[in-house]
Amino acid sequence: MDQPIGVIDSGVGGLTVASELMRQLPNEQLIYLGDTLRCPYGPRSEQEVITYTWQMVRFLMEKNIKMLVVACNTATAFALENLQNELPIPVIGVIEPGARAAIKTTQNLHIGVIGTEGTIKSEAYPKALKDINSKIHVNAHPCPRFVPMVEQGILSGEAAMEVVSETLVPMKKQNHIDTLILGCTHYPLIRETIQEVMGDRVTIISSGEETAREVSTILGYHQKLYTGNRKPAHEFYTTGKLEVFETIAGEWLDQPVSVITSVVIDY
């Protein structure tokens, strides 16, 4: 089926998932919407997140998408079940794929999770992890400074190192953790700095790769995979300024992103 896959995020972080989708499913067309104007979602109330998520979804449903990827952990935590119940297309989030990847990786069953305030408060990751293996020990810590930093395009260097080092002090003290889940799709954009701070003995998990695998499996099951041969024309939309989005998209996706449009979705 030649309909596009829809991807939503609170900002640029979902590009880390989009990148994996483009790598694993190179013939599929993506339509991406990042709500950079109202980012971050982490400190917002559950109802606000649900409202904003549905506004993004309505915009993408008008594009005749065949599947929706909620590439935002906060939106996944608060809105995924509602979306799955209400929409006529397959919908997946990023929390369960991330949890599965961490379970496969950990050697000592001690897993750390960092994310936005909303995601950590929701306890979605501990639940997802313990649903798979009740013996897992989980330490979760909110990192409210990371998303605003990434949205400003500060992805490396001294300033990024200072913020990451200060923020991860409590997580560093949990010296039994051998696996750390990046429980926000913005965080892989600063993955190298996080790895440097946490040290080589900790394996960093981001959910993008596992999420893309799940998209492929679900589309195959529903016989909705595109089977032709084309170079897809991806579409990128943002509710905020184009410049930073364009820069980060170009760097992260390893290809120039020619079509980025600023849109209003608060309806």
The residues annotated as belonging to the active site are 72, 184
72 phi and psi, to 5 degrees?
A: -145, 125
In the numeric block, the tokens 């429980």 are attached to 183
| Contact present, 233 and 10 (Cβ < 8 Å) | no
> Is residue 92 helix, strand or coil?
strand
267 Cβ contact partners less than 8 Å away, ≥ 6 residues apart = 55, 58
DSSP 108: S
In terms of C-beta density within 10 A (0-12 exposed, 13-18 middle, 19 or more buried), how is residue 27 classed? Answer: middle
One-letter identity of residue 44: R
Task: Give the Cα separation of 113 and 177 in Å (integer).
Answer: 10
134 Cβ contact partners less than 8 Å away, ≥ 6 residues apart = none
Angle, CA 254 vertex, CA 30 and CA 156 arms, to 5°: 115
Exposure pattern of 166-184 as b/e (b: 16+ CB <10 Å)?
Answer: ebbeebeeeeebbbbbbbb
Nearest to 72 by CA among 47, 58, 52: 52
Q: Which two tokens stand for residue 49?
A: 């997140």
